[in-house]
């Protein structure tokens, strides 16, 4: 029963003093929206990149000549296969094809479609792909950006590549990669390895790199050593390095926003603190009056705590929902351009909704704790001064 | 009911700005008595009331109300004492401007543990006594000075205190409203309430229901003669 009177009064105060609270709620919503949008975006990007990485080989090996990348002999495939603990060795042709007239480029990936791992990865990405039909003629699967670019230049069914020998190679556009792959595959063209070899002018016994797996993580460093002993002119990139690079890529951008968030929250908290601590503020007088009519310090702090907790919860809910809609429904206009940078081809990235309890908890704590402290500390300070003084 | 023994209040004690607002004041107010503390501004009347209301603590001396020593009460007990035993009517009304009359009146009962319907009926009773029921749902900021004063009276009475303290209650009222206030005061005394009024308003002189008028000057009672 005691609580019903308190709840009644709490609701009453919040409603009657809504204009006083609306400013704080508005600023809070903006701050929480910005923080949530940045965290949602970077979490989603990292999730997409890391889950893509999971489908890739553990190691990528390239031959180097005087420190620069050179074509890798296919004979290395057998040499690598001989190493214990190695599986799924696959040669790959990988490189940028420049479409000089428009100054754009496509990322061409030539893979062996008879390799089980490659077909599985492709089938996971492109649902219901008819591989038999695909391989029956010289075809390619293109990213959405490539598809739109080619269509805009009247290459609706086929595209003609210019080979280093000066000849032309017409390739049929078989299918488009799904929009979910736009983050990494917007400008990608996937084709059979022999076709890619022809386009880049590679010999039959050459590829750009070789990928393979080492299922036992503990063996990774041993394999790297073995590769360096076996091939003196080799560059080995393992998944750990790629993972680190992917994480860092968006972490630093998120970091910039976190600094902005910290600056804005500190400013806001200082304003709040100032408002509540002001010597002749309305809050001060109100606390004095409540104390004079019999409220204890504990009662005052309880009222201020719940009053501001409701403000925090409302702001948090509204800010998080708006950020969710902005990032995952409206694809984060402006913010995505900052995170993704300028793209080679026009890219419409849709973000995979990734919202963890940890992210939400961090947002709440980073906001609620300083907010409540900024209100409760001055409220407590006023409460402990004699009511006669506070009411002045 | 109220016993004050050698009460002194020194503001900024121990500093060059030290100011002695009350000097060894002693007095006694019996249950059901109506006592008027008169004197010019700055004579110490309001300070004395604030100490009896436990809104401040004396520098020296002892205050006993209903057998309870209130001069050294810790916060929790002082708040409970204010919430239970006394009702204060301030010169500047001290109302929560954004709330209505009724909402202001129920404030002292929020932490009483009473049911909302009981609180509501107590508020209605108190507003009737203070003749402000007709303005119950009106926001305080829209009220006249006299109405605000009646709202403050209703709030001071809502928890049915035994002791009512009035600090310059008519200072912000016109003559008509001051007379109405005096009428309410009379009714309260008839209800058996103990009343202490600090005022320099001559209207309070010679009122039949006032038991005693104590004059204060320079922080002392009646030229230094304490009771």
C-alpha–C-alpha distance, residues B221 and B218, integer Å: 8
> In angstroms, how far is CA A262 from the centroid of its own chain?
21
Domain final residue, candidates A189, A213, A237: A213
C-alpha–C-alpha distance, residues A381 and B7, integer Å: 27
- Mean residue pLDDT of chain B comes to 90
Asked if A298 has any chain B CB less than 8 Å from its own CB, the reply is yes
Q: Which domain holds residue A94?
A: 59-213
E strand or H helix at A358: helix A357-384
- pLDDT, position B226: 46
Q: Is pLDDT above 90 for A48? A: no
Phi, psi of B88 (to 5 degrees): -115, 135
Q: What does the pLDDT look like over A60-109, one tens digit per residue? A: 999 998 888 899 999 999 999 898 989 888 898 989 999 877 788 889 99
Q: Are B51 and B57 in contact (CB under 8 A)?
A: yes
How many other CB atoms sit within 10 Å of the CB of residue B59? 17
| CB-closest option in A4, A8, A391 to B94 | A391
User: Span B180-185, mean pLDDT?
Assistant: 90
Does B109 sit within 8 Å of A5, measured CB to CB?
A: yes
What number of CA atoms fall less than 13 Å from residue B35's CA on the CB side? 23
C-alpha–C-alpha distance, residues A210 and B188, integer Å: 99
- pLDDT, position A4: 86
A92 shares its domain with A136: yes
| CB-closest option in A2, A4, A293 to B82 | A293
A95 shares its domain with A209: yes
**Quick one: closest CA in B to A19, which residue?**
B98
Rg (CA), chain B: 17
Q: Are strands B2-11 and A139-142 parallel, antiparallel or unpaired?
A: unpaired
How many other CB atoms sit within 10 Å of the CB of residue A142? 26
**Quick one: closest CA in B to A7, which residue?**
B110
Residue A218 domain-assigned (yes or no): no
Number of domains in chain B: 1
> In angstroms, how far is CA B5 from the centroid of its own chain?
20
Residue A232 domain-assigned (yes or no): no
Give me the residue label for tokens 């110490």. Answer: B44
Q: What does the pLDDT look like over A6-37, one tens digit per residue? A: 999 999 999 988 888 888 889 889 889 988 99
Task: Count the residues in chain B.
Answer: 227
Asked if B198 has any chain A CB less than 8 Å from its own CB, the reply is no
Q: Are B43 and B218 in contact (CB under 8 A)?
A: yes
E strand or H helix at A339: helix A335-340
Phi, psi of A134 (to 5 degrees): -60, -45
Min Cα–Cα distance to chain A from B91, Å: 12
- pLDDT, position B1: 83
* Angle in degrees, CA A168, A171, A172, rounded to 5: 150
SS3 state at B58:
coil
Min Cα–Cα distance to chain B from A266, Å: 30
Q: Is pLDDT above 90 for A318? A: yes
Q: What is the CATH number of the domain that holds B197?
A: 3.40.50.300
Closest CA to B9 of B47, B37, B39: B47
Min Cα–Cα distance to chain A from B214, Å: 23
A196 shares its domain with A266: no
Domain final residue, candidates A213, A231, A264: A213
| CB-closest option in A12, A297, A388 to B50 | A388
| CB-closest option in A5, A12, A296 to B75 | A296
Does A8 sit within 8 Å of B82, measured CB to CB?
A: no
ipTM of this complex prediction, to 2 decimal places: 0.91
Min Cα–Cα distance to chain A from B206, Å: 30
Asked if A294 has any chain B CB less than 8 Å from its own CB, the reply is yes
A106 shares its domain with A199: yes
C-alpha–C-alpha distance, residues A277 and A262, integer Å: 22
A71 shares its domain with A47: no
Residue B205 domain-assigned (yes or no): yes
E strand or H helix at A65: strand A59-65
SS3 state at A166:
coil
Distance, first Cα to last Cα, chain A: 34
A71 shares its domain with A38: no
Asked if A15 has any chain B CB less than 8 Å from its own CB, the reply is no
- pLDDT, position A342: 66
Does B116 sit within 8 Å of A1, measured CB to CB?
A: yes
Q: Which residue has the higher pLDDT, A371 or A263?
A: A371
Residue A36 domain-assigned (yes or no): yes
- pLDDT, position A3: 64
- Rounded to whole angstroms, the maximal C-alpha distance in chain A is 95
A327 shares its domain with A297: yes
List of chain B residues whose C-beta atoms are within 8 Å of the C-beta of residue A8:
116
Sign of CA pseudo-dihedral A366, A368, A371, A377: negative
Residue B226 domain-assigned (yes or no): no
Q: Is pLDDT above 60 for A280? A: no
A129 shares its domain with A159: yes
C-alpha–C-alpha distance, residues A294 and B55, integer Å: 10
Min Cα–Cα distance to chain B from A18, Å: 10
Q: Is pLDDT above 90 for A235? A: yes
DSSP state of B53: T
A272 shares its domain with A149: no
C-alpha–C-alpha distance, residues A170 and A160, integer Å: 4
- Residue A2's pLDDT band, with cuts at 50, 70 and 90, is low
Q: Is pLDDT above 80 for A281? A: no
SS3 state at B92:
coil
Number of domains in chain A: 2
**Quick one: closest CA in A to B76, which residue?**
A296
Residue A361 domain-assigned (yes or no): yes
List of chain A residues whose C-beta atoms are within 8 Å of the C-beta of residue B109:
5
Between the alpha carbon of residue A13 and those of residues A286, B97, B142, B189, the distances in Å are 11, 11, 18, 34
Beta strands in A322-366 (DSSP E): none
- pLDDT, position A282: 81
> In angstroms, how far is CA B18 from the centroid of its own chain?
26
**Quick one: closest CA in B to A4, which residue?**
B116
SS3 state at B6:
strand
A188 shares its domain with A67: yes
Beta-carbon contacts of residue A78 (< 8 Å; ≥ 6 apart): none
Q: Is pLDDT above 60 for B105? A: yes
Residue A320 token pair: 């998080």
Asked if B204 has any chain A CB less than 8 Å from its own CB, the reply is no
> In angstroms, how far is CA A310 from the centroid of its own chain?
31
Residue A237 domain-assigned (yes or no): no
Asked if B24 has any chain A CB less than 8 Å from its own CB, the reply is no
Phi, psi of B3 (to 5 degrees): -125, 125
- Residue B152's pLDDT band, with cuts at 50, 70 and 90, is very high
Q: Are strands B163-167 and B86-89 parallel, antiparallel or unpaired?
A: parallel
User: Span B163-176, mean pLDDT?
Assistant: 90
**Quick one: closest CA in A to B100, which residue?**
A16
List of chain B residues whose C-beta atoms are within 8 Å of the C-beta of residue A9:
103, 106-107, 110
Q: Are A87 and A174 in contact (CB under 8 A)?
A: no
Does B106 sit within 8 Å of A296, measured CB to CB?
A: no
List of chain A residues whose C-beta atoms are within 8 Å of the C-beta of residue B96:
286, 289
Q: Which domain holds residue B71?
A: 2-221
- pLDDT, position B224: 39
Q: What does the pLDDT look like over A149-194, one tens digit per residue? A: 988 888 888 999 989 888 999 999 988 888 777 777 888 899 989 9
Residue B227 domain-assigned (yes or no): no
List of chain B residues whose C-beta atoms are within 8 Å of the C-beta of residue A295:
79, 83, 110-111
Min Cα–Cα distance to chain B from A11, Å: 12
Q: Are B163 and B193 in contact (CB under 8 A)?
A: yes
Q: What is the pTM of this model?
A: 0.78
Asked if A2 has any chain B CB less than 8 Å from its own CB, the reply is yes
User: Span B62-78, mean pLDDT?
Assistant: 89
- pLDDT, position A338: 78
- pLDDT, position B109: 95
A74 shares its domain with A196: yes
Min Cα–Cα distance to chain A from B98, Å: 6
- pLDDT, position A1: 46
Does B115 sit within 8 Å of A4, measured CB to CB?
A: yes
User: Span B98-126, mean pLDDT?
Assistant: 94
User: Span B48-53, mean pLDDT?
Assistant: 94
Beta strands in B139-183 (DSSP E): 163-167
Between the alpha carbon of residue B31 and those of residues B1, B66, B205, the distances in Å are 5, 9, 21
| CB-closest option in B103, B111, B113 to A299 | B111
C-alpha–C-alpha distance, residues B130 and B144, integer Å: 15
A44 shares its domain with A109: no
Residue A259 domain-assigned (yes or no): yes
**Quick one: closest CA in A to B167, which residue?**
A388
């Amino acid at each position: 029963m005691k609580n019903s009177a308190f709840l009644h009064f709490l609701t009453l105060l919040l409603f009657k003093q809504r204009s006083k609270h609306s400013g704080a709620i508005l600023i809070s919503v903006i701050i929480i929206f910005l923080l949530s949008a940045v965290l949602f975006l970077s979490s989603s990007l990292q999730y997409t990149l890391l889950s893509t990485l999971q489908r890739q080989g553990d190691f990528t090996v390239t031959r180097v000549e005087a420190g620069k990348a050179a074509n890798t002999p296919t004979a290395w495939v057998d040499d690598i296969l001989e190493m214990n603990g190695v599986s799924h060795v696959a040669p790959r042709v990988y490189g940028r094809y420049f479409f000089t007239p428009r100054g754009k480029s496509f990322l061409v990936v030539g893979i062996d479609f008879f390799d089980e791992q490659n077909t599985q990865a492709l089938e996971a990405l492109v649902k219901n792909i008819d591989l038999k039909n695909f391989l029956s003629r010289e075809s390619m699967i293109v990213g959405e950006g490539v598809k739109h670019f080619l269509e805009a230049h009247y290459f609706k069914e086929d595209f003609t590549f210019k080979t280093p020998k000066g000849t032309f190679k017409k390739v049929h556009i078989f299918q488009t990669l799904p929009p979910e792959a736009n983050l990494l595959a917007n400008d990608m063209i996937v084709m059979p390895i022999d076709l890619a070899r022809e386009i880049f002018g590679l010999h039959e016994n050459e590829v750009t790199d070789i990928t393979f797996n080492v299922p036992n993580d503990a063996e990774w460093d041993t394999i790297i050593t073995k590769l360096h002993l076996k091939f003196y002119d080799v560059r080995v990139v393992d998944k750990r390095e790629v993972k680190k690079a992917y994480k860092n890529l968006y972490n630093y951008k998120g970091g910039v926003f976190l600094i902005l968030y910290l600056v804005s929250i500190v400013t806001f908290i200082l304003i709040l603190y100032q408002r509540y601590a002001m010597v002749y503020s309305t809050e001060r007088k109100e606390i004095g009056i409540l104390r004079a009519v019999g409220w204890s310090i504990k009662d005052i702090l309880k009222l201020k705590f719940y009053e501001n907790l409701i403000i925090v919860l409302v702001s948090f809910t509204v800010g998080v929902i708006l950020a969710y809609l902005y990032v995952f429904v409206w694809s984060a206009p402006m913010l995505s351009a900052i995170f993704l940078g300028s793209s080679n081809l026009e890219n419409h990235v849709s973000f995979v909704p990734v919202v963890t309890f940890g992210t939400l908890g961090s947002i709440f704590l980073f906001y609620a704790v300083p907010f409540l402290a900024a209100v409760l500390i001055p409220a407590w300070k006023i409460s402990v001064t004699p009511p006669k003084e506070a009411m002045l | 009911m109220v016993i004050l023994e050698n009460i002194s209040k020194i503001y900024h004690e121990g500093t060059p700005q030290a100011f002695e607002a009350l000097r060894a004041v002693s007095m006694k107010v019996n249950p059901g008595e109506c006592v008027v503390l008169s004197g010019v501004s700055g004579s110490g009347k309001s300070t004395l009331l604030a100490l009896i209301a436990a809104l401040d603590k004396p520098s020296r001396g002892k205050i006993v109300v209903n057998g309870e020593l209130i001069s050294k009460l810790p916060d929790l007990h002082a708040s409970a004492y204010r919430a239970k035993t006394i009702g204060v009517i301030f010169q500047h009304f001290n109302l929560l401007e954004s709330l209505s009359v009724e909402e202001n009146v129920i404030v002292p009962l929020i932490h009483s543990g009473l049911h909302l319907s009981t609180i509501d009926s107590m508020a209605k009773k108190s507003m009737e006594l203070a003749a402000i029921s007709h303005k119950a749902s009106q926001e305080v900021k829209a009220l006249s000075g006299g109405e605000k004063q009646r709202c403050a009276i209703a709030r001071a009475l809502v928890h049915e205190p035994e002791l009512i303290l009035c600090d310059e209650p008519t200072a912000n009222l016109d003559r008509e409203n001051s007379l109405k206030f005096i009428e309410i005061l009379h009714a309260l005394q008839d209800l058996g309430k103990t009343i202490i009024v600090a005022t320099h308003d001559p209207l309070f002189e010679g009122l039949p229901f006032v038991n005693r008028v104590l004059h204060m000057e320079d922080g002392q009672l009646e030229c230094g003669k304490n009771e």
